[in-house]
Amino acid sequence: MIRSMTGFGAAEGPVGSTRVSVELRSVNHRFFNPSLKLPTALSQWEGEVREALRQRISRGHLTVFARIERGDEPQAMVDEERFARFAAELRRLQQAHGLSGDVDVGTVLRMPDVLRMGREDDGLAGATVADLLVVVDAAARALQTMREQEGARLAAVIAERLALVAAAVARLAVRAPERTEAQRVRLRENVERLAGGIAVDPQRLAQEIAILADRLDVGEELDRFAAHIAAFRDALKADDSEPVGKRLGFLLQEMLREANTTGSKANDAAMLLDVVAIKEELERIREQVENLE
């Protein structure tokens, strides 16, 4: 299946007793290149998140954002262990120094770090990496859906461009033998004119014509070109889950090589026009293929 390397996916779900949201953004890259931005409370599972995403995504620069969702109003929390320590210490000091009065709740709450607002790891005490990976997987599925939709659009554009290339190659295949025959006739006429009535060895002339025809022959190049086009179309239509971006890039390089060789042998204005048109379309296709996984 054709997938773009550009996409976005998001999901949220319970992790422990709180909720975590995950956003994934991807753009094109030669390899799988993740960049994870996790809250401190979740950073301990960065390796597991990275590996889970690697299983789903083969190529692309992937940015991962995760955040812990909070209510509109932060909750005040009491560190009961710290509260008990301060209360006991105040009572000890009161008795040791014979101080009057009571040790009240307000006094203890004013001690350092006894009363605090909720922190980012509050509610994550019962969280597990499995909880987080469920949310990450949902975001990855959303990302892949968008990448597949974009990939389908790119594949349609590429198929249109490839049809133009195939049409130009077909014209070259028709023109090539006509051009070779015209060159044979022209060479024979030139030799006879330059000989000025002097007898020319027909065997030698036939040999020179054969050498010229071999230099101008682009049949093998066009056959290979047609085979590359067929392989490219098959890759575009593949319905398996394997990425095809690198394969398409390789086939484009091979097609460009055949186009360059054909152009160097052409020696014909009409053929050169088609070769130039082919190279222009191949460049347009390359720009789109660079965005495919």
**Residue of 70, 69, 64, 67 lying closest to 9 (CA atoms):** 64
Given this model, what pLDDT does residue 253 score?
A: 95
Q: Are residues 45 and 155 in the same domain?
A: no
Given this model, what pLDDT does residue 149 score?
A: 94
Q: Are residues 203 and 264 in the same domain?
A: yes
CATH number at residue 133: 3.30.230
Q: How many C-beta atoms lie closer than 10 Å to residue 146's C-beta? A: 17
CATH number at residue 269: 1.20.140
DSSP class per residue in 28-68: --SSEEEEEE--GGGGGGHHHHHHHHHHH--SEEEEEEEEE
Q: Are residues 64 and 182 in the same domain?
A: no
Domain that holds residue 12: 7-73+129-145
Q: Which residues, in sequence order, are CB contacts of 131 under 8 Å at separation 6+?
A: 13, 14, 15, 16, 20
Q: Are residues 80 and 190 in the same domain?
A: no
Q: Are residues 155 and 96 in the same domain?
A: no
- Is 138 inside any structural domain? yes
- Is 258 inside any structural domain? yes
Q: Are residues 198 and 103 in the same domain?
A: no
- Is 123 inside any structural domain? no
Find the helix or strand (DSSP H, E) in which 19 lies: strand 18-27
- Is 219 inside any structural domain? yes
Given this model, what pLDDT does residue 5 score?
A: 94
Q: Are residues 182 and 267 in the same domain?
A: yes
**Residue pLDDT tens, the chain, 293 long:** 789 999 999 999 999 888 999 999 999 998 999 999 999 889 899 999 999 999 999 999 999 999 988 654 556 678 888 889 888 888 888 888 887 877 788 888 888 878 776 554 555 667 889 999 999 999 999 999 999 999 999 999 999 999 999 999 999 998 888 877 676 667 666 666 666 666 666 676 666 666 666 677 788 899 999 999 999 999 988 777 778 899 999 999 999 999 999 988 887 888 899 999 999 999 999 999 999 98
DSSP category for residue 4: B
Q: Are residues 181 and 224 in the same domain?
A: yes
- Is 98 inside any structural domain? yes
Given this model, what pLDDT does residue 265 score?
A: 84
For residues 83, 85, 90, 91, the Cα torsion angle rounded to the nearest 10 degrees is: 110
Classify burial at 61, counting beta carbons within 10 Å of its beta carbon; exposed 0-12, middle 13-18, buried 19 or more: middle
What confidence tens digit (pLDDT) does each residue in 209-246 have?
666 666 777 888 999 999 999 999 999 887 777 788 99
Q: Are residues 260 and 140 in the same domain?
A: no
Output the CA angle 28-9-243, nearest 5 degrees: 45
Whether the Cβ atoms of residue 271 and residue 287 lie closer than 8 Å to each other: no
Q: Are residues 109 and 135 in the same domain?
A: no
Domain count, the chain: 3
- Is 88 inside any structural domain? yes
- C-alpha distances in angstroms, 14 versus 11, 28, 55, 128? 11, 31, 22, 10
Distance of alpha carbon 269 from its chain centroid, rounded?
39
Q: Are residues 112 and 16 in the same domain?
A: no
- Is 1 inside any structural domain? no
- Is 122 inside any structural domain? no
Q: Are residues 162 and 135 in the same domain?
A: no
